[in-house]
Amino acid sequence: MATVNFVNPVFNRSGNHSFDFSAISETPVIDVGKVLNNPKDRLVKVGDIIYLTISFRADNVSKSTNGQHLPSFFVFYSPADDKELKVKYIFDAASPILIPNGEGDDVILECLLDLADLASGEKVIQLRGFDKEPGKIREVLLAESDPFYVQQSLAEFMQPNIANQGISDETGLNRDRINNPTYFPVGLQPVNPLYTKDVKLWEAIRDATEALSFRNYYDFMNVIFCGEDIPIDHESQFQKELKRLKKRRKLPFNDTDAYRSIKIATEAFVMVNLANSTGDLSGYLQTVSDSNGEVLQIIPYLAIIRNKLSDIDFKSTSFEDALSNFIDSSNGRVADTCFGIISERIQQPIYLELIWSYWHEESMMVQGVNTIARRFQNIKGEGAVDPLANLEVGPLRPLSNLMWGYIQDEQHRLTVRRRAYEYDHHYGITLQGKAVSNMRTADSRSKFIEAFHMLMNLCMKFYRQYDDTTVVADGFPIMNALKEVHMILSEGAHNQYGDLPSTARIEMLMQQYLLARPEFREFLPTRQMVPYPEAWMDRAAVLNQLHGWTKTSVLHFRDLGVFGEQILLSIRFGAWSTVFNRDQAANWAIFWRPQIQNYMHAYRAVTGVDLTREDGAVIDAQQPSTHLLRRLKEQKTAR
């Protein structure tokens, strides 16, 4: 509750007349403390409602004609950029306020505010009076950033012919009058870095990766093949892509239509979601053009690449469309360069990271599906007893035909060696095992692990400083670490980078879908009470147990893939080589804090390495697969 003294006790209703409140019997009170959605700490977020009440007693009120009026200012602060955002409230001259007979009646004006967009600067909201009784006004403000901190006071505003307001020092007295407690909560607030525009890019990356999650994929497949009534986004685009792929994706094998349908649906799911992953990047994108006058809006990182290739025009027609147009002249042939920058790819970055596939492969999910495919072909596994000896899928079950098509299509899938070469090219990480022995890698990112783990460690130091409200956390070390990781990642973005990650994602999503099939409950002794969030996980876990592989929960490997992908995408596609503002790096660390801390926890659970240590320990730069192999040997020794 904040009270206000009227320096000039004259309140104007219009230019022709005003009310003289010199006889007001009680100091007007303005309640800005009632935040309906968050009453405790007054941290106002988008969609929150502030309830503004102005009340006073009117005794022997008389009219005056001095032509003054009284504005009220509330000041909001955005923690993102510490920018002062003013919201101004005035009484509406079009609706004269009623002072009932001036005989000591209560006069209450109320304004219900829906906070949305204060970033446009000063905003005028009118409080309207009513002829018969006090009422409520609802005004919707558009919102750009979130959250805002409302200052519990009125800002002094000085202009000619405007009555001034000062903050009252009688707050305690007025609190006593209304029977409110007189104590005031006091606390320190963390110092937030200034807002930076690349937050929009991070939001787009987060939304894009969540759109490709297994949960959304499984729902999508159930809508198509199980007839479930689940709303899906971009349904018309999915239908169009499914029609296109159904005509072009053929398998030269008998009785593989069921598997072919699964394959087409999975590819459509990935491709359509990637095409709609740009998000709302207004105010962040940069404009580029070519010699033909074609103008594109692209992210700053790709704008830097475009400037290096400024002599090359854009290519907007694909070879596939050009061939179709040539065959069917009714489509019309579009003149386009045969050589140039693919405009679709520079406008729509592929928000996929191969690290997602790497950690899912380390969970032994792919190897587990391979053992099922081997047993499906009636090939006995190594050892005296086959762990999958009881796997007998009847021909009446849909899984039987799906597995048949999956095995027939093996020659068209990526091999483990091919993925391993790409893991090394992107991140300098490798797999362990007979299938990937004697690898001859051409260009390894040998410095990536050290640089990335150093970044994670610096983030943990930053969080400790940020949580200490007596310290201003410094984002400068994080900024330099981000630059280093960004440059290393960009070196690996060549050759198969544009196609292999999406192909690996499609294949592994299909493997997860097969494992999630309910038929496997009959063959694999899963633990039903373990709350795995995705249906394929308990199958992968029991395969690990049956074959004597890792005992680490599959959930940790999944978290490493999901969170690692989001973190690396925000580093890869940010224009970090041109950043010199530590606030930008601090914002990055704060925005991705849940993902970073979950990644470090999952990494410790999987490898036993703690990336958060600050006791002077050397940053671990060993291969994750080396730690996994060591833990597997320890696991077997402990039996």
Q: What is the pLDDT of residues 606-634, one digit of tens each?
A: 999 999 988 767 888 899 999 999 999 98
Q: What is the pLDDT of residues 310-330, one digit of tens each?
A: 888 888 777 877 877 778 766
Query: Helix %, strand %, coil % for the chain, to 5?
Result: 45, 15, 45
Give every CB contact of residue 245 below 8 A, 6+ residues apart in sequence: 264, 267, 268
Residue 98 has pLDDT above 50, yes or no: no
Q: What is the pLDDT of residues 282-306, one digit of tens each?
A: 888 898 887 777 788 899 999 999 9
Lowest pLDDT segment from 229-233, 262-266, 308-312, 557-561:
229-233
Q: What is the pLDDT of residues 413-455, one digit of tens each?
A: 999 999 999 999 999 999 998 888 888 999 999 999 999 999 9
Lowest pLDDT segment from 182-186, 574-578, 582-586, 587-591:
182-186
- Residue 333: pLDDT band by 50, 70, 90 thresholds? low
Q: What is the pLDDT of residues 452-478, one digit of tens each?
A: 999 999 999 999 999 988 888 899 999
Q: Could you tell me where the beta strands, DSSP code E, fall in 401-511?
A: none
Q: What is the pLDDT of residues 132-144, one digit of tens each?
A: 332 222 222 222 3
Of 183 and 608, the structure prediction assigns the larger pLDDT to 608
Report the DSSP beta bridge partners of residue 210.
none
* Degrees to nearest 5, angle at CA 427 with 628 and 509: 75
Residue 496 has pLDDT above 50, yes or no: yes
Contact 91, 17 (CB under 8 A): no
Tokens of 570: 């925000």
- pLDDT at 79 (0 to 100): 45
Quick check: bond before 71 cis, omega within 30? no
Contact 604, 610 (CB under 8 A): yes
In our burial notation (b when 16+ CB lie closer than 10 A, e otherwise), range 108-143 reads ebebebebbebbeeebebebbbeeeebeebebeeeb
